[in-house]
Structure 1
Amino acid sequence: MRRGRHTREQEVDPFYDMLFNMLIAFVFCFIIALLAMNPKALKTGDIPSKAEFIVNLSWPDLNPDDIDTWVQDPAGNVVWYRSREAGLMHLDRDDRGLAQDVIVVNGREIVNPLNQEVVTLRGIAAGEYTVNAHYFESKDGKPVEVTVSVIKVNPRAEVVFYGQLTLARKGDEGTAVRFTVLPDGSVGNVNTLAKTLVQRL
């Protein structure tokens, strides 16, 4: 009885079969790991944000008027509502008075009474900073008293400036504070000398 010839292709080696299955499993795990990563963070090299200084601008609760914060850094970069990131500065909160301050929770309307804007400086850039308040929109035509604070966060919280200014009418701009950050992160030359930022843009 004549037996058929066995070709190399017909032979099955369990060792190679096991290696192939392990390779498939490895590739599958690699693809899953890639999908689990944040591609945006990999592309931009983002790191968790931190603050060196916090600039806080507020005006009376439930006031309907829109006051804007403008901050200029030593390089001439200006952060404001149309440029929320400039240099190492970030406008973290842009408040428009009572506009968009109503939210619905469980069918009930809740009004957020706070009027507050926040700018963070997320690094040390030596030189002078200017913080201005701008009376952008008026709903009642009345003057608005604005409170501004600058807090140095690291290595411990320290109030660099706390003060108030009054904006009389729509369109008014006032310098709340100018301060100089030294190379070691300390602050000097805190003053309120007027400097216009709004009309320059």
Structure 2
Amino acid sequence: MLDEFNLSSREPPFDPLSAILFKVLQVTAFLFFIAFLALSQMKDTGKIDTKAEFFISMTWPDNHPDDFDLFVQDPLGNVVWYRRRDIGFLSLERDNRGGANNFITVDGEKILSASRQELVSIRGIVAGEYTVNVYHFSAHTGLPVPVTVTVEKLNPHVSIIAKETLDMAKDRFERTAVRFTLDSKGEVVSKTHVDRSILQSFFDPTANGATMSKYGYQQ
């Protein structure tokens, strides 16, 4: 009779253990989703961001066909360039070949990039002098190209310690953008623009783990 008047519940009796287990399952699924997103981001970027003390960027006009290379040498003699992307605290974050096969990948599709930029990070402090050079690997227009090199100190706040624009007109030509000296605390104590060749260090056939055939030098 009670069923005819809807006076009794047709739902099963409440089970508190089942409710707790369901909530635990929800939380576990949520944490798994967050972890999946983090792993996906790492896969897309290809690397985990690390702390940097300095960024050194080199830019030239968008869509320009010429190829420039950024060379940075630390006080220990380590040189970072496109054949040695990581050495000591130096990392070449971005290599750019100008009009030669300069692509970026967007949603799995390769797209020709108009930007012209190379980027080096310094992830730790070594006291002494750093040399930042620009090398004009290939010139196609025969006209001077303005190449801007910027050195930024990131900690404790971002500040520009050097910004120089060089007119580069000849291929196989190297120029010094800036040389700066750090103390043991990472403070810049001096700067100069006196030319100093980094390529000379490559006359040693064991240096940097590669030949300089790209630059016309042989072992």
Compute the TM-score of the two structures, normalised by the length of structure 1.
0.71
Which structure has the bigger radius of gyration? 1
Cα distance, 1:117 vs structure 2: 0.2
Cα distance, 1:111 vs structure 2: 3.3
Whether the aligned pair in 1 keeps the contact of 2:138 and 2:171 (CA below 8 Å) is: yes
Match status 1:125 vs 2:126:
yes
Change (3 A) 1:136 1:184: same
d(CA) in 2 for partners of 1:104 and 1:72? 30
Match status 1:163 vs 2:133:
no
- Runs of 4+ in structure 1 off by over 3 angstroms are 102-106, 108-111
Per-residue CA shift, 1:150-198, capped at 9, x if unaligned? Answer: 0000111010101111122001100000001111111121110110012
The 3-state SS of whatever aligns with 1:71 is strand
Letter in 2 for 1:84: R
d(CA) in 1 for partners of 2:96 and 2:70? 9
Q: Structure 2: any 5+ residue segments left out of the alignment?
A: 1-38, 40-46, 203-219
Q: Structure 1: any 5+ residue segments left out of the alignment?
A: 1-37, 39-45
Letter in 2 for 1:186: E
Per-residue CA shift, 1:3-54, capped at 9, x if unaligned? Answer: xxxxxxxxxxxxxxxxxxxxxxxxxxxxxxxxxxx9xxxxxxx985111000
d(CA) in 2 for partners of 1:182 and 1:125? 8
Count of residues paired in the alignment: 156
d(CA) in 1 for partners of 2:181 and 2:103? 38
Q: How does 1:83-162 map to 2 (within 5 A)?
A: 83-102=84-103, 110-162=111-163
Letter in 2 for 1:152: K
| Match in the other structure for 1:194 | 195
d(CA) in 2 for partners of 1:47 and 1:65? 31
The 3-state SS of whatever aligns with 1:147 is strand
d(CA) in 2 for partners of 1:105 and 1:151? 28
d(CA) in 1 for partners of 2:88 and 2:104? 33
Whether the aligned pair in 1 keeps the contact of 2:139 and 2:169 (CA below 8 Å) is: no
Cα distance, 1:141 vs structure 2: 2.8
Per-residue CA shift, 1:109-144, capped at 9, x if unaligned? Answer: 843211000000000111100000000112223322
Letter in 2 for 1:199: Q
User: After the TM superposition, which of the residue ranges 139-148 and 60-69 deviates more from structure 2?
Assistant: 139-148
